[in-house]
Amino acid sequence: MAALLLPFMALAAVGLLLSLCVHVASLLGLRVPGGALVWSLHIGIFVVWLPAVLVATRITRGRPHRDYWKTVLSGCPPWMRYTGYALFVYAAANFFWIMATSESQDLKRIGDASVIRAFSGHWLVFYGAAFAILYSAYRTPRLLSRQRCADGHEVAGSDAFCSTCGKKIQRPVVAE
């Protein structure tokens, strides 16, 4: 399974770095190299996001939805989780800022830089989340296997005790 994760992790990392370069260039008002090719980053999200969603679905199978991100990103170092959360907040703030400042302008006159800035902020989130999900599964392969208590009952990754029989889980996937 790890061999399948690596190429998509690499693509997500490249997409994240390119999105960051495009975003910084748009913030500085610089012309983005490659012209219209920059929009291929928009399509690239789907290439890495589909495997990331499939991996996340497998990791969270049978687990409470309230622990979704905690479980999915449990194989990541804390700084990576917090960076992902920060990127999400930044992308939302960036989007609302662009909408608020562009509202009074004629939509035909909104410059390419602001449009690219709006999209690249979202690209950062999707490429970053895809990389973090795939990295989590790569670093902690047992996230992809079914977790069971000593009696064979399926348990959530965040459970310390089996909800069916009450036995202590020896190696919970998600540490508290």
Residue 20, pLDDT > 80, answer yes
Instruction: Please give the span between the terminal C-alpha atoms of the chain, in angstroms, as a whole number.
Output: 26
How confident is the model over 72-87, as pLDDT tens digits?
998 999 999 999 999 9
Question: Helix 112-139 to helix 78-102 angle, to the nearest 10 degrees?
Answer: 160
For the CA atoms of 80, 83, 88, 90, the dihedral, rounded to the nearest 10 degrees, stands at -170
3 state DSSP class of 100 = helix
How confident is the model over 131-171, as pLDDT tens digits?
999 999 999 887 887 777 888 887 766 567 888 888 887 76
Beta bridge partners, 168, equal: 161
Q: How confident is the model at residue 102 (pLDDT cuts 50, 70, 90)?
A: confident
Radius of gyration of the chain (CA): 20
Residue with tokens 């540490």: 175
Token duo for residue 80:
């990576």
Q: H helices of the chain, where?
A: 2-27, 40-60, 68-72, 78-102, 112-139
Token duo for residue 107:
């939509």
